[in-house]
Amino acid sequence: MTAKKARFLIALTAGASLTVAAVAHAKLSRVGAAQVQFTASGPAGMSIVGTSNELHVAETEKEIVITVPLAKLDTKIELRNKHMREKYLEVDKYPTAELRVAKDGVQRNATSSKANGTLSLHGKTRPTSFTYTSKADGAVSGAVHVDMKDFGITQPGYAGITVKPGVDVTVAFRVAGE
């Protein structure tokens, strides 16, 4: 075995050991696939759906924190994505949306429950309520209605057609932890 291969294997083994140690001491974290979706509506049945599979879950001593990187949202139309990211969400200035929920405010193995938290979006933080389910296998899903006006987001429009300021957001993910 060459010295270069030996150093690589040592580094790989050390990295794997650190990863296993970190996971063993981890609290709540997302595992597997995630789905984030928003739906905005407008006149004459117009519906705009954006999705992402980027979602991060972390746990502090008192809170569960769910973070969505906004630059990854995709509406399947590149010009609309550009406008959404640059003009409305301003992802260069405000790259994430973050929901913080007190741990004692949610239940595991809950079927269709309501909870309260704080939502940070576009540089503003507001109290919010949402619905969620949490299953024994770690599957979590939730929904929240967001009014863009509450967060200082300009109401999107193009060619004289604007969407309503209310947007429905759903998430689904799986967690592992305690």
Domain ranges of the chain: 28-176
Note every long-range contact of 41-50, with CB atoms under 8 Å and residues 24 or more positions apart, other chains counting. Answer: 41/163, 41/164, 42/161, 42/162, 42/163, 42/164, 43/161, 46/161, 46/163, 48/75, 48/80, 48/163, 49/75, 50/74, 50/75, 50/84
What's the confidence (pLDDT) of residue 28?
A: 67
Low-confidence stretches of the chain (pLDDT < 50) are 1-26
Q: Please report the pLDDT score of residue 20 as a whole number.
A: 31
- Encoded tokens for 175: 């967690």
pLDDT single digits (tens) 115-147: 999 999 999 999 999 999 999 888 999 999 999
Q: Provide CB contacts within 8 A for 18, sequence distance 6+.
A: none
What count of other Cβ atoms lies within 10 Å of the Cβ of residue 161? 11
* Separation between Cα atoms, residue 139 and residue 135, nearest integer Å: 5
Overall CATH class of domain 28-176: mainly beta
* pLDDT score of 176: 84
Look up the pTM and report it. 0.80
Question: Can you say how many angstroms the Cα of residue 147 is from the centroid of all Cα atoms in its chain?
Answer: 17
